[in-house]
């Protein structure tokens, strides 16, 4: 922590600490706060007052805060929150600003380790953005596959290096719309191949297609490549030893993946029909004991972000539907509004364009909206 800033990681550590000597103060507008915030924060919307230079109004609104706790101010990108922290200090408070604001909060990861018979799944939970990445590790050889990497590739390299793992494959289940893939950059850095279904990309960059690959092997562990269209036309999932399904956006814990991103209304209806068929096929193929690992989450607080297929079917209304039209009507009604940045992000991912990290973080600001409902 410097004189006025606190890093996203330090704030995360505060949240995980049993001590409660701080207040997370979000100064954005109420609608922005309700749409996407850090759990446990409070909202006093003085952001517009800061923009107007109304310091008397700012002080009046902040005066009710207790004096005996550190105030951590939060805004979208960490600029106006520094002003709020300065005003609070002038008022006698102990206050710092979250570095890079909610944009910086997106950098934080929690890591969970899940052991299976012959393999281990490491789940990287990007807590601010709702994105999930995975290392699939063969226990005997420590060979690993990285699935759904975000742009913060140091996170994976550090874990691989610290745990003596041998990275064999870098894979995306589909071209994401809500976040940038780090797969292309990491593959280039390590002189490795990057795998994605050719249906998902523009074929203007170097990659290896998943379209005709039946399975991958790491050490003594094999995982099957299953075509699971619906969320996108070329989405795939990975079934590991009939124990775990890494399913991209096919199945989120809150809902099946939405079928409308980068699609017309007619294409969305068709996608919903394909999604129903895919889900029926998957549920008929797999045991209810198989653990489901999605690539995103919206609001669930389940950690690690995982359910058995049986648990998910019991919790998810659309998975219990057997009538195709009923499912399609349910999935296509009340789909969340698509953020305008999603189309831009997907175009970059489809074209294999590697962009500066700061620009990527700017476009990724906001909650995850990959669930259909």
Residue 311 is assigned to a structural domain of this protein: yes
Claim to verify: residue 72 and residue 115 sit in the same structural domain:
no
- How many angstroms separate the CA atoms of 354 and 23, rounded? 37
pLDDT at position 2 is: 52
Return the pLDDT at 70. 94
| For range 290-319, the mean pLDDT | 96
Q: Report, as an integer, the average pLDDT of 325-334.
A: 94
Whether residue 25 contacts residue 84, with contact meaning beta carbons closer than 8 Å, is answered with: yes
- Asked if residue 155 and residue 92 are part of one domain, the reply reads no
Residue at which a domain ends, from 104, 139, 169:
104
Quickly list H helices, the chain.
8-16, 30-35, 47-52, 55-62, 80-90, 101-105, 153-162, 183-190, 265-285, 309-315, 324-332, 340-351, 357-364
pLDDT of 235 higher than 90: yes
Looking at 59, 85, 104, which one is the last position of a domain?
Answer: 104
The CATH number of the domain where 26 resides is what?
Answer: 3.40.250.10
Q: Are residues 52 and 70 in the same domain?
A: yes
User: Do 88 and 153 lie in a common domain?
Assistant: no
Same domain, 229 and 149: yes
Select from 77, 104, 131 the last residue of a domain. Answer: 104
Measured at the alpha carbon of residue 158, what is the angle toward residues 206 and 302, in degrees to the nearest 5? 95
- Percent of the chain at pLDDT > 70 equals 99
Task: Establish if 371 belongs to a structural domain.
Answer: no
Mean pLDDT on 199-222: 96
Is 143 among the domain residues?
yes
Per residue in 110-134, pLDDT (tens digit) is 999 999 999 999 999 999 999 999 9
Q: For the segment 334-345, what is each residue's pLDDT rounded down to a tens digit?
A: 888 888 899 999
- Residue 14: its pLDDT value, please? 86
- Looking at the predicted structure, is the pLDDT value of residue 160 above 60? yes
pLDDT at position 215 is 98
The predicted model gives 39-57 an average pLDDT of 96
Both 111 and 84 in a single domain?
no
What does the CA dihedral 19, 7, 72, 342 come to, rounded to 10 degrees?
-120
Are 304 and 190 found together in one domain?
yes
Count of residues for the chain?
Answer: 373
Pair 84, 130 in one domain: no
Quick one: CA dihedral 10, 297, 170, 271, positive or negative?
negative
pLDDT tens digits for range 241-277:
999 999 999 999 999 999 998 888 999 999 999 999 9
Domain around 56: 5-104
**Is residue 369 in a domain?**
no
Please state, for a pLDDT cut of 90, what percent of the chain lies above it.
90
Q: What confidence score (pLDDT) does residue 3 get?
A: 75
Residue 288: give its domain's CATH number: 3.60.15.10
Q: Shortest CA distance to 133 belongs to which of 291, 13, 12, 297?
A: 297
Q: What is the C-alpha separation between 190 and 198, in angstroms, rounded?
A: 22
Q: Are residues 22 and 170 in the same domain?
A: no
Please confirm whether the linkage preceding 304 is cis (ω < 30° from 0): yes
User: Are residues 72 and 160 both part of a single domain?
Assistant: no
- Does one domain contain both 359 and 227? yes
pLDDT at 364 over 50: yes
Residue 118 lies in a domain: yes
**Cα gap 188→306, rounded to integer Å:** 31
What's the whole-number mean pLDDT along residues 300-304? 95
Domain total of the chain: 2
Q: Are residues 77 and 141 in the same domain?
A: no
Tell me if 223 sits within 8 A of 145, measured CB to CB: yes
Mean pLDDT of the chain: 95
- The verdict on residue 370 lying in a domain is no
Instruction: Give domain status of residue 372, yes or no.
Output: no
For residue 1, is pLDDT > 90? no
Regarding pTM above 0.85, the answer is yes
User: Is 42 inside a domain boundary?
Assistant: yes
Band (pLDDT 50/70/90 cuts) for residue 183 is very high
């Amino acid at each position: 922590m410097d004189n006025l800033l606190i890093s996203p990681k330090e704030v995360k550590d505060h949240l995980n600490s049993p001590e409660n000597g701080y207040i997370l103060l979000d100064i954005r507008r109420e609608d922005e706060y309700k749409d996407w915030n850090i759990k446990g924060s409070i909202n006093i919307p003085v952001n517009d007052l800061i923009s107007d230079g109304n310091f008397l109004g700012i002080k009046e609104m902040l005066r009710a805060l207790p004096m005996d706790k550190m105030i951590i101010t939060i805004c979208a990108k960490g600029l106006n929150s520094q002003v709020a922290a300065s005003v609070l200090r002038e008022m006698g408070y102990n206050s710092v600003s979250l570095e890079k604001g909610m944009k910086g909060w997106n950098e934080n990861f929690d890591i969970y380790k899940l052991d299976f018979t012959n393999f281990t799944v490491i789940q990287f939970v990007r807590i601010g953005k709702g994105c999930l990445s995975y290392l699939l590790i063969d226990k005997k050889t420590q060979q690993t596959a990285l699935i759904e990497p975000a742009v913060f590739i140091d996170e994976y390299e550090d874990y691989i290096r610290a745990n003596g793992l041998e990275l064999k494959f870098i894979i995306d289940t589909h071209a994401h719309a809500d976040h940038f893939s780090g797969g292309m950059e990491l593959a280039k850095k390590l002189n490795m191949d990057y795998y994605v279904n050719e249906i998902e990309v523009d074929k203007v960059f170097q990659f290896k297609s998943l379209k005709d690959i039946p399975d991958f092997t790491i050490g003594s562990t094999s995982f099957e490549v299953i075509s699971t269209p619906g969320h996108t036309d070329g989405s795939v999932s990975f079934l590991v030893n009939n124990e775990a399904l890494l399913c991209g956006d096919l199945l989120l814990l809150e809902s099946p993946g939405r079928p409308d991103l980068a699609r017309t209304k007619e294409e969305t209806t068709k996608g919903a029909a394909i999604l129903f068929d895919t889900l029926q096929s998957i549920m008929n193929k797999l045991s209810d004991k198989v653990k489901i690992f999605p690539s995103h989450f919206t609001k669930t607080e389940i950690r690690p972000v995982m359910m058995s297929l049986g648990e998910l079917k019991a919790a998810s209304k659309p998975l219990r539907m057997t009538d195709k039209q009923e499912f399609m009507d349910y999935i296509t009604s009340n789909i969340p509004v698509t953020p305008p940045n999603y189309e831009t992000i997907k175009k970059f991912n489809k074209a294999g364009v590697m962009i500066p990290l700061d620009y990527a973080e700017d476009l990724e600001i906001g909650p995850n909206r990959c669930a259909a409902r």
